Structure 1
Amino acid sequence: MCQQCISAGVSRRSFMRFAGAGLLSASAGFAGHALAGEDPPPSPDEALHRLVYGNKRFVQDAEAGAAGFIERRAEIAKVQKPWSIVLTCSDSRVVPELIFGGVTLGEMFVARNAGNVVDTDVLGTIEYGVEHLHVPLVVVMAHKRCGAVAAGCDAALKGTKPEGNIGHMIEGIVEIATKDRDRREGFPERVARAHALRGVKRIFLESAITAHLVRAGRVKVVPAYYDLDSGEVEFLDKSLPG
C-alpha cells in the first residue's frame, strides 16, 4: 500500500500524516444530521460494507440488479439522500450503480470524467455531497484498460503530449507514469492504481471541507480499482473489509 502511494508521488511521511489524520480509517457516522422520525444515514464503514458486498453480488449474479424504479422515483422526487459518492471514469463499461450491486435511484452521488481526474469541478461536487447531503463515503475508482491512463502511459514512454484539453487533463497520469521505473507487464494497471491513490491524496490536501469531515470521523475516502474482466472492485487500502 505505502509503496503504491510512493509511486503516486506521495512520500511515506506525507502518506502517514494524512492517513493518521483519519483519511482511510474514519468510522463515525452522521447520526446528528438525521431528520426527526427518519433512520440515520449509515456510518462511513457501513456505507463501505454496502459497496463491498454489493460488488460481490454483482460478480456472482450480474443480472440481480435493483428494480421498482417507478416507486422509488416517486419516493425521492423531492429530496435525495445518497450514502456514497463515487468518482470514476466516463468509460461506458464502468457503471458504478451496477458494479456495486444494482443500487437504486437516490443512493449514489456520482462524479465522472475521462480518467477519474480530481479537478476543481470534482472537488466542488464532492464537497457538496459530504457537506450538504451528508454523504459518509467517497470512493475514487480507477479501472482496467482506461483510455486516459493508456494515453498518459504512451505520453510518458514517447515524450509526447496529446493535443487539446486531453493533454492538460492527463498531466497527473503522465507524471505518475514517468516516475514508474518498471514499465514491463502490468505498467498501465500500476499507473491506474497509483492515480486513484493520488486522487485520494488530492481530495484530502485540496478540499479543506472534506478533510475537516474526515478528521471529525464523519467521512471516509478510499481508493479503488475495477477489473473489467472479472467485475471485481479492489479497494486499495488493505485494511478494508471483504
Structure 2
Amino acid sequence: MPDLDLAVSSPAEAFAVLREGNARFVQGKRLHPNQDADRRSAVAPRQRPFAVLFGCSDSRLAAEIIFDRGLGDLFVVRTAGHVAGPEVLGSIEYGVSVLGAPLVVVLGHDSCGAVTAASIADHDGNAPAGYLGDVVERVMPSVLSARAAGHTDIDAFVRTHIRRTVDGLVGRSVLLAAEVAAGRCAVVGLSYRLAEGTVDMVNSHGPVPTASDNPHQ
C-alpha cells in the first residue's frame, strides 16, 4: 500500500523519515513507497514534497533510492560537486516557500570527483578547461579552507565542502535564513558513503538532531 502524503510538518519529522528510509536501504529492506500507479495519479495534480534534496550529480547518489522514497516525496536539485549558483538557490527557495518543504538536505559523498579535481588543480596550479573549470573554481575555497585547517585527504575536503555549502545556503538566501530562524525549516549537511550506503550528518541549521546524535558518527 502506498503511504501517499506523509503527515510531516516539522524539520525533525522530515529528517527522521529520511534516516528511516536510508536505514532500510542499507539493510536491504526497502519498502519502495509511493512508486506505483496510484501514487502517480495522486500527485499528478499537485506536489507537496517533505524535503528538498540538493545533492551532487554523481550517478551513484540517486536520492529516492538511497532514502527509499517515491514520487512526490523529494524535490531534488543536483549539480556537480553540489555547487550552488542563483538557479540552485532559486530552486531551493521554491521548494521551501512555494511547496512547503520543512527540510533542506545538502548531500555530498566520499571520493567526490569535483572535490578531487579542485584538490588536483590546487596542487598543480592548473584548472580544467571549459565549464568544468567553473565548477572547480566554486569548490576550490572549500579545499583551501580544509588545507588551512590541517586536513590532507579528499574525504576531509568533502566534509568541509558540505559544511560550507550548508552555511552558504543559509547565509546567501534571506528567505531560507528567515525560515530557519522561525523554526519552520532546517538545513542539514549529509555525507554519503558509497560502499556502505550510509549517511553521516556533517552540520545543520535549524531544529533537527545534532551531529552528535547521529548513530554513524
TM-score (norm 1): 0.78
For 2:166, what is the secondary structure of its paired residue? Answer: helix
Q: Could you tell me which of 51, 69, 76 is aligned with 1:110?
A: 76
Letter in 2 for 1:155: A
How far 1:204 sits from its partner (Å)? Answer: 0.8
Q: Could you tell me which of 7, 17, 20 is aligned with 1:53?
A: 20
Q: Could you tell me which of 189, 194, 205 is aligned with 1:223?
A: 189
How far 1:144 sits from its partner (Å)? Answer: 1.4
Aligned residues: 202
For 1:224, what is the secondary structure of its paired residue? Answer: strand
How much is the aligned-residue C-alpha RMSD, in angstroms? 1.8
Partner of 2:60: 93
Q: Distance in 2 between matches of 1:83 and 1:194?
A: 26
Partner of 1:134: 100
CA contact (8 A) 2:56 2:108 kept: yes
- Deviations, residues 142-167 of structure 1 (Å, cap 9, x unaligned): 11121111111111111111111111
Q: Which runs of 5+ in 2 are unaligned?
A: 204-210
Matched, 1:72 2:3: no
- Runs (4+) off by over 6 Å: none
Query: What percentage of aligned pairs have identical amino acids?
Result: 37
Point out the more displaced range, 64-73 or 103-112: 64-73
TM-score (norm 2): 0.87
How far 1:83 sits from its partner (Å)? Answer: 0.1
Partner of 1:9: none
Judging changes above 3 Å, is the alpha-carbon distance between structure 1 residues 241 and 220 closer, same or farther for their aligned structure 2 residues? Answer: same
Q: Distance in 1 between matches of 2:113 and 2:55?
A: 13
Q: Distance in 2 between matches of 1:239 and 1:167?
A: 36
Q: Distance in 2 between matches of 1:205 and 1:177?
A: 19
Letter in 1 for 2:51: S
Correspondence 1:1-242 to 2 at 5 A? 41-61=8-28, 64-66=31-33, 68-100=35-67, 102-179=68-145, 180-181=147-148, 182=150, 184=152, 187-237=153-203, 238-242=211-215
How far 1:88 sits from its partner (Å)? Answer: 0.6
How far 1:62 sits from its partner (Å)? Answer: 5.7
Q: Distance in 1 between matches of 2:143 and 2:6?
A: 45
Partner of 2:207: none
Q: Distance in 1 between matches of 2:29 and 2:80?
A: 24
Structure with the larger RCO, 1 or 2 (CA within 8 Å, 6+ apart): 1
CA contact (8 A) 1:157 1:178 kept: no
- Deviations, residues 112-143 of structure 1 (Å, cap 9, x unaligned): 01111121111000100110011000001111
Partner of 2:206: none
Judging changes above 3 Å, is the alpha-carbon distance between structure 1 residues 239 and 52 closer, same or farther for their aligned structure 2 residues? Answer: same
Partner of 1:21: none
CA contact (8 A) 1:88 1:140 kept: yes
Q: Distance in 2 between matches of 1:77 and 1:218?
A: 26
